[in-house]
Amino acid sequence: MPTDRRDEALGGEAARSLFSKFRTLLEANTAALATMAVMERMLGGEYIFDRTFLEKSAREVADFTYQAVYAVNAMTGNRFVTLYDRFMAITAVVEDILTGRQQEADDDQLVRSLSQLRLEDRPQVGPEGAALGELAGQLGLFVPRGFAVTHAAWSNGNLVPEAAAAIAAALGVPPEGPPDAAMTVVVTVSGADVVTAWRKERGVPARGEDLVAALGGLARVALIELGDAAGGGRIAAAVTAEVPAILRGRIWTAWREGAEPAFLRLDVWPEDDPAARETLILDRSHPFAVQRKLPAEPVAAGPSHRGLQLSDAFTLPLAGQALAAERLLGAPLALEFCQDPTGRFVFESVRFLPQLPAAVSISSGPGEVLLSGGEVACLGAASGEVVPVDETTATTAFPFGAVAVARSASPALAPLLRRAGAMVAEVGDAAGHLAAVAREYRVPALFGLPGALTVLTPGLVVTVDAEVGLVTRGAAPSRPAPESGLSPDDPEYQNLRRLLRHIARLTLTDPNAPNFSVEGCRTLHDLLHFAHARAVDVLADLRQVGFSEHLAIPLSLPVPLDLRVLDIGGGLASGAVGLEAVRSRPLAALLAGMLVPGMWDTTPARVGLGEILGAMAKTMPETGGNLAIAARSYCNVSLRLGYHFTVIDAYIGSNPEKNSISFRYVGGLADAAGRAARAAFIRQVLARQDFKVEVTGDLVVARLKLIEPETAEEVLRLLGSLCAFARQRDTGLSNMDDARALQRLFFEIRERSLAQQEKKA
Amino acid sequence: MAHPDTATLPTKRRLFVLDDEPIVVKRLKPAFQKVGYDVFVFTDSVAALSAFEDKPADIVITDLKMKGMDGITFLERIKAISPTVGVIVITGFATLQTAKESFHKGAFDFVSKPFKLADILDVVARLEASLGSDGHAD
């Protein structure tokens, strides 16, 4: 490509300046991600931290984000100046949290949807709404649709005039319920941490005036009951749609009748016959053995009932879910639930109970030590039967509350953690994705315990105590929150979660989605991600800033991959044109993987007319061809191979906390079943490498972070092989069996080729 | 029970934790109780000094930067009362200078916040090993 005059003028120094700004952005991005990772690890309770740490970390991420925003504007002639406004708005919220003002965007709302709420919203929405939101949002438990009437909606014990309109508006918006539905109202009056009054009314008509009357009435009763103690109490309420039920029940997660230890109590009755109530007293640990049953004989109540005959299939999931809720919320609970006609358990209300006295809750003397050491992914202790798991374990087959034992702490196991009472893995560390998920669900987890699968045999009852790094034989009474861990009640825990919500949450994931915009940036992580994506766009299309593309050097490779490399510093050695020219550590690994013999199939793809027509109906991402932006520790590679568009963005340095690989794969010729099978094939391959994978239609997005540099290279070599392999071979897929067969073929060919390569070497 | 009754262990060592952030002392207290210490926690250095004057501790874990009397002054004062007390300094403002000063004033070790529970337990175990059976440094 001939060099134009503009390039000569701009080339050299201007290009170096542009690349330097990009590197600044990159460094800010990776440093911010590393700091976020450290903050996130604090949730696990293993670390002691203080306010100074939170202030320092949050401001550090903000500084790095500012550098990224500045850099992308410097690269684009200030095309994204409004990013500064978003930055200021988000950092103002972060500062408010740090200084204790805690003014967030939603704080002045009088009514908030339950599905949006989390535990850290408790001061604004009360314990009931925050708990229901947390159970649904974090654990995926079913809760009724509804909304919270926030603390801001009350003044001197009464609803403010504007609240009525807000409640009516919330009712009018589907899917909060049809106008003739009945609602349940729970009003709480809380002190700083402790609920002091809880009042509930069922069967309130779903009309604004009825709800306002019920809310006002319940609040008055609660305040009268509290008397002088009500002074300074915060009123809030949860309003939920009543669920059609066949059975109703109540669970106390820590029930004591004078003597220790505490048990789990389960009361159940038919919806149409409350008198036919049955009570089970169960162990507080998996497999939740029944200790007592009341009444001893089934009550023949009503013509259609011959006792409830509660089976394990009914009680065990309920017990497991209740204890998972207790762990997540950090306190003993009284939960009200119902079973709807489809058989689902719906948790309708959550009441926090006083913590167990230490004498009851502290674990008893440990049994025989089976394993010790490992890394603490999440503090806590739990007992249960051992269930070995791997990536093929069906989530629905995993018993609630059991102890999951795995070879590797793969992110593919994340869904199991919603059910597991504790988790042990032979390989893995506290920095990985699965560890983060364990912290999210507050599941006690120890990773890096070699021999776990051998020692912890299926069905053996063990206690995992992450606090002391032991797995012991037998069950031990557990407590809702670790003794020296960070309790969900601690303001520091809630502040950390609030900060992470505005700093580390990533809400922009798809660069092609409509909300991938400046206005769509809601967190510092969003700003970093957006700035990085736009900066990459600039380098991928240098014409935007006045360069021709001749700066990208064609690379000569033994496969027909028309790849140009834009060296932004240390990516290429001068004077060479082949693979030996590549100095970029991640790019070299990726290309080495592509060149593994057998991966690059040159046979034309078998494509049917239907597949071609299917592809024509889709909009393919625009691309300037195959381009690698490369620095010594970084590469961003855009590939159009076959009919697929792939982007790999990778950073490999010496600090694992800064290392990351992201992978996007979209397009291809196939019908809907074929595309689903292709996505499944790629997801299976990536999940084996511990990627966190999300599949949306055609689009596969995968991320891997916090990895040792050698592991990152190995993974990139595999990604290179995958890109080459998937280029032609995924067109014939039509179902999930094909996907599994292709996955086997991929690994067989690759492993055979690597073995041959090794032999030759 | 995992935790032996305090009353049955006459040789139990006294351990003070001083940090002006309640979350730090709240979390360290059960961790050290669990491994058998008689733990007293303070968020105010003057109150901690007063308690130390009444009855010195064997081991003290103290923050450096606090309102009122800072950690270095507190360290000097308790060392003056009981030269054998083992002191571990914890701080979120770790610099080489503060570390040097802490050691110079007689601290056994210096730990930067945030730290792992297991790490501080290890440091105290090392300090414990250096103390004689009468509770004083060898």
In the structure, what pLDDT confidence band is assigned to residue B9 with cuts at 50, 70 and 90? very low
Same domain flag for A560 and A512: no
Q: Which of A43-57, A104-118, A219-233 has the lowest mean pLDDT?
A: A219-233
Same domain flag for A498 and A572: no
Who has greater pLDDT, A514 or A216? A216
Instruction: Please give the average per-residue pLDDT across A299-318, as a whole number.
Output: 69
**B2 with A365: Cβ contact below 8 A:** yes
Residue A174 belongs to domain with CATH number: 3.30.1490
Buried/exposed A93-130: b ≥16 CB within 10 Å, e otherwise:
bbebbbeeebebeebebbbbbbeebbbbbbbbbbbbbb
Instruction: Please give the average per-residue pLDDT across A218-227, as a whole number.
Output: 83
Q: Count of CB atoms within 10 A of residue A297's CB?
A: 7
Residue holding tokens 């510092």? A524
pLDDT of residue A336: 96
Per-residue pLDDT for A33 more than 70?
yes
pLDDT of residue A107: 64
Q: Is A511 on the interface with B (CB under 8 A)?
A: no
Chain A, 465-494: which have a CB under 8 Å from a chain B CB? 467-469, 483-486, 490-492
Highest mean pLDDT among A181-185, A311-315, A626-630, B56-60: B56-60
pLDDT of residue A1: 38
- A68, A540, A649, A701 from A662: Cα distances, Å: 19, 17, 5, 7
Same domain flag for A708 and A568: yes
Report d(CA A610, CA A272) in Å as an integer.
55
Residue A509 falls inside a structural domain: yes
The last residue of a domain, from among A206, A241, A276: A241
pLDDT in tens, B94-125: 778 888 888 998 999 999 999 998 899 999 99
Q: Is B125 on the interface with A (CB under 8 A)?
A: no
pLDDT of residue A545: 65
Interface test with A, best of B15, B64, B117 (most A CBs within 10 A): B117
Q: What percent of chain A has pLDDT over 70?
A: 85
Q: Is A360 on the interface with B (CB under 8 A)?
A: no
The overall average pLDDT reported for chain B is 85
Highest mean pLDDT among A179-193, A499-513, A662-676, B72-86: B72-86
- CB A166 within 8 Å of CB A148: no
- CB A657 within 8 Å of CB A708: no
Per-residue pLDDT for A237 more than 90?
yes
pLDDT of residue A9: 47
pLDDT of residue A579: 86
Report d(CA A536, CA A533) in Å as an integer.
5
Report d(CA A442, CA A328) in Å as an integer.
6
Residue A78 falls inside a structural domain: yes
Report d(CA A480, CA A356) in Å as an integer.
8
Same domain flag for A609 and A662: yes
Tokens standing for A744?
């086997």
Q: What are the beta bridge partners of residue A187?
A: A199, A237
The number of distinct structural domains making up chain A is 4
Report d(CA B22, CA B42) in Å as an integer.
8
Of residues A48, A376, A379, nearest to B24 (C-beta): A48
Tokens standing for A316?
């065990």
Helix pair B45-54, B71-81: axis angle to 10 deg: 10
Q: Count of CB atoms within 10 A of residue A732's CB?
A: 16
The last residue of a domain, from among A213, A241, A269: A241
Same domain flag for A66 and A9: yes
Rounded to a whole number, what is the distance in angstroms from the first to the last CA of chain B?
33
Q: Which of A419-428, A715-724, B97-106 has the lowest mean pLDDT?
A: B97-106
In the structure, what pLDDT confidence band is assigned to residue A678 with cuts at 50, 70 and 90? confident
What are the residues whose beta carbons fall under 8 Å from the beta carbon of A172, sequence distance 6 or more?
none
Report d(CA A223, CA A601) in Å as an integer.
75
Same domain flag for A587 and A693: yes
What are the residues whose beta carbons fall under 8 Å from the beta carbon of B110, sequence distance 6 or more?
B88, B89, B91, B94, B98, B99, B102, B103
Question: DSSP states of B58-100 as a string?
Answer: SEEEEESS-SSS-HHHHHHHHHHH-TT-EEEEEESS--HHHHH
In chain A, which residues have their Cβ closer than 8 Å to the Cβ of B28? Answer: 48, 484
- Which of the listed CATH numbers 1.10.10.10, 3.40.50.2300, 1.20.950.20, 3.40.50.10440 matches domain B12-127? 3.40.50.2300
Q: Is B1 on the interface with A (CB under 8 A)?
A: yes
Same domain flag for A664 and A711: yes
Question: DSSP states of A91-115 as a string?
Answer: HHHHHHHHTT----TTTT-SEEEGG
- CB A111 within 8 Å of CB A169: yes
Length of chain B counted residue by residue: 138
Instruction: Please give the average per-residue pLDDT across B40-61, as a whole number.
Output: 96
A712 to chain B, closest Cα gap in Å:
27
Q: Is B26 on the interface with A (CB under 8 A)?
A: yes
Residue holding tokens 């490779």? A557
Tokens standing for A562?
């028309």
What are the residues whose beta carbons fall under 8 Å from the beta carbon of A548, sequence distance 6 or more?
A1, A3, A4, A6, A7, A542
Domain span at A205: 145-241
CB pairs under 8 A between A and B: 70
pLDDT of residue A229: 62
Residue A312 falls inside a structural domain: no
Report d(CA B1, CA B33) in Å as an integer.
13
pLDDT of residue A226: 74
Torsion angles phi and psi, residue A360, rounded to 5: -85, -40
Rg (CA), chain B: 14
Report d(CA A729, CA A240) in Å as an integer.
51
pLDDT of residue A444: 95
Element (H, E) at A44: none
Residue A332 falls inside a structural domain: no
In chain A, which residues have their Cβ closer than 8 Å to the Cβ of B115? Answer: 47-48
Chain B, 77-116: which have a CB under 8 Å from a chain A CB? 90, 92-93, 113-116
Instruction: Please give the average per-residue pLDDT across A188-217, as a whole number.
Output: 83
Residue A135 falls inside a structural domain: no
Q: Is the C-alpha dihedral spanning A544, A549, A553, A555 positive or negative? A: positive
pLDDT of residue B7: 42
Residue holding tokens 């953690």? A417
Of A424, A511, A500, give the one whose Cα is nearest residue A460: A424
Residue A416 falls inside a structural domain: yes
Same domain flag for A82 and A195: no
Q: Which of A485-489, B28-32, B122-126 has the lowest mean pLDDT?
A: A485-489
Q: Is B27 on the interface with A (CB under 8 A)?
A: yes
Instruction: Please give the average per-residue pLDDT across A327-344, as a whole number.
Output: 92
Per-residue pLDDT for A609 more than 50?
no
Which long-range contacts (C-beta less than 8 Å, at least 24 apart) are formed by A12-19? A14/A547, A15/A547, A15/A551, A18/A75, A18/A538, A18/A539, A18/A545, A19/A539, A19/A568, A19/A569, A19/A631
pLDDT in tens, A592-602: 999 888 887 65
Report d(CA A725, CA A592) in Å as an integer.
13
B86 to chain A, closest Cα gap in Å:
21
Instruction: Please give the average per-residue pLDDT across A465-473, as a whole number.
Output: 90
Question: DSSP states of A604-640 as a string?
Answer: PP---HHHHHHHHTSPPPP--SEEEEEETTEEEEEEE
**B2 with A362: Cβ contact below 8 A:** yes
Per-residue pLDDT for A209 more than 60?
yes
Report d(CA A228, CA A218) in Å as an integer.
17
ipTM of model: 0.86
Same domain flag for A67 and A154: no
Same domain flag for A43 and A170: no
Tokens standing for A243?
């669920």
Per-residue pLDDT for A297 more than 70?
no
Of residues A47, A51, A362, nearest to B3 (C-beta): A362
A679 secondary structure, DSSP code: H
Per-residue pLDDT for A480 more than 70?
yes
pLDDT of residue A461: 95
Tokens standing for A192?
């700083």
pLDDT of residue A623: 42
Report d(CA A502, CA A282) in Å as an integer.
41
Of A608, A640, A647, A610, give the one whose Cα is nearest residue A625: A640
The overall average pLDDT reported for chain A is 84
Per-residue pLDDT for A510 more than 50?
yes
Q: Is the C-alpha dihedral spanning A216, A221, A227, A233 positive or negative? A: negative
Instruction: Please give the average per-residue pLDDT across A255-280, as a whole number.
Output: 86
Of A129, A130, A222, give the one whose Cα is nearest residue A184: A129
Of residues B34, B93, B114, nearest to A48 (C-beta): B114
Element (H, E) at A266: strand A259-270
Q: Is A567 on the interface with B (CB under 8 A)?
A: no
- CB A11 within 8 Å of CB A547: yes
Q: Count of CB atoms within 10 A of residue A358's CB?
A: 13
pLDDT of residue A389: 96
Q: What percent of chain A has pLDDT over 90?
A: 44
Length of chain A counted residue by residue: 761
Element (H, E) at A283: none
Per-residue pLDDT for A698 more than 80?
no
pLDDT of residue A249: 95
pLDDT in tens, A625-654: 688 999 999 999 988 776 678 889 999 998
pLDDT of residue A194: 57
Report d(CA A485, CA A494) in Å as an integer.
13
Of A606, A741, A618, A608, give the one whose Cα is nearest residue A678: A741
Who has greater pLDDT, A202 or A640? A202
Same domain flag for A656 and A615: yes
Per-residue pLDDT for A223 more than 90?
no
- CB A627 within 8 Å of CB A646: no
Residue A401 belongs to domain with CATH number: 3.50.30.10
Element (H, E) at A101: none
Who has greater pLDDT, A691 or A59? A59
Tokens standing for A10?
């701009």
Interface test with B, best of A364, A484, A492 (most B CBs within 10 A): A484
Same domain flag for A639 and A579: yes
pLDDT of residue A615: 44
The rounded Cα A163 to chain-centroid distance in angstroms is 34
Of A4, A26, A3, give the one whose Cα is nearest residue A539: A26
Element (H, E) at B105: none
Report d(CA A529, CA A532) in Å as an integer.
5
Helices (H), A543-671: 585-594, 609-616
pLDDT of residue A116: 87
What are the residues whose beta carbons fall under 8 Å from the beta carbon of A266, sequence distance 6 or more?
A249, A250, A251, A279, A280, A281, A282, A315, A318, A319
Strand A634-641 to strand A626-631: parallel, antiparallel, or no bridges (unpaired)?
Answer: antiparallel
Q: Count of CB atoms within 10 A of residue A210's CB?
A: 14
Residue A717 falls inside a structural domain: yes
Q: Is the C-alpha dihedral spanning A485, A488, A489, A493 positive or negative? A: positive
pLDDT in tens, A517-575: 999 999 999 999 999 999 988 887 776 666 665 678 888 888 888 888 989 889 998 87
Of A608, A614, A593, A758, give the one whose Cα is nearest residue A689: A593
- CB B58 within 8 Å of CB B135: yes
The rounded Cα A167 to chain-centroid distance in angstroms is 31
The last residue of a domain, from among A226, A241, A256: A241
Report d(CA A149, CA A170) in Å as an integer.
10
Of residues A53, A469, A490, nearest to B113 (C-beta): A53
Residue A704 falls inside a structural domain: yes
Residue holding tokens 């175990």? B125
